[in-house]
Amino acid sequence: MISRRHVLLAGGAVLGGCGVIPKVNDPVPLYALSAVSRFEQSLPDVDWQLVVGTPVASADLNSTRIALTRSPGVVEYFAKGAWADYAPILLQDKLIESFEASNAIVSVGRDAVGLRPDYVLQSDLRDFQAEYSGEVPTAHLRLAAKLVRMPDRRIVANILTEQKVAAAGNSLPQIVEAFDRAASQAFEEVVVGVLTAPTQS
């Protein structure tokens, strides 16, 4: 399930001499995604360490703003909500949590914690926007990942996951819920693809 918290923008100082707090703008909801907590299939245990790199994304997706498209080549953003972190970092965090939830890997972490990994998962975030082509928008997530063996940096597996989930309605919470389901499906596909990859070939 998606999580949400609120922040206040444009806070001000107390009005001089009267102690009245000025009115601030409406709170802006910040949305997060869910990691996979349970896998439908059994996964093989692996005895190696994995570092999950931050997905590379174009400037329009490397943002806390929630992107949408209503015509080809034009990217807009929802005004009354945002991601809780930059989209690539948010996806990286939840992907790491999904690997941890598999209980099938010795160690997994991000690329900034000084691990000496056996493998590195590098990826490109190519789509992460709500697309309008019918009555309700569709959350579209496309992630191209490569499992790289260290230290020779040989690519041993390519995993392309593309998920499209129609929202239940046109409200932003319903659209974010569709993003959440698309992301969970993508995380599961990546985790299964990595843990079942023929890494020793």
Domain boundaries, the chain: 3-195
Across 66-75, 111-120, 122-131, least confident range = 111-120
Can you give the C-alpha Rg of the chain in angstroms? 20
pLDDT at position 113: 63
Tell me the mean pLDDT in the region 31-37.
97
List, in sequence order, every residue forming a beta bridge with 143; answer none if it has no partner: 125, 161
CB neighbours of 99 closer than 8 A, spacing ≥ 6? 50, 52, 105, 108, 191, 194
Torsion, Cα of 121, 124, 130, 131 (10° steps): -130
Look at residue 6 and tell me whether its pLDDT is greater than 70.
Answer: no
Q: Is the CATH number 3.10.20.740 carried by domain 3-195?
A: no
Tell me the mean pLDDT in the region 148-152.
95
Residue position matching structure tokens 């969970």: 184
Per residue in 164-182, pLDDT (tens digit) is: 999 999 999 999 999 999 9
Q: pLDDT band for position 12 (50/70/90)? A: very low
Q: pLDDT band for position 7 (50/70/90)? A: very low
pLDDT at position 101: 96
Report the greatest alpha carbon distance in the chain.
Answer: 75
Look at residue 134 and tell me whether its pLDDT is greater than 90.
Answer: no
pLDDT at position 75: 96
pTM of this structure: 0.84
CA distance 35 to 191: 11
CA distance 121 to 110: 10
| H runs (alpha helix) in the chain | 87-102, 172-195
Per residue in 82-119, pLDDT (tens digit) is: 999 999 999 999 999 999 999 999 999 998 667 789 99
Chain-centroid distance, C-alpha 161: 13
In order, the DSSP letters of 50-80 are EEEPPPEE-TTTSSSEEEEEEETTEEEEEEE
Tell me the mean pLDDT in the region 37-43.
89
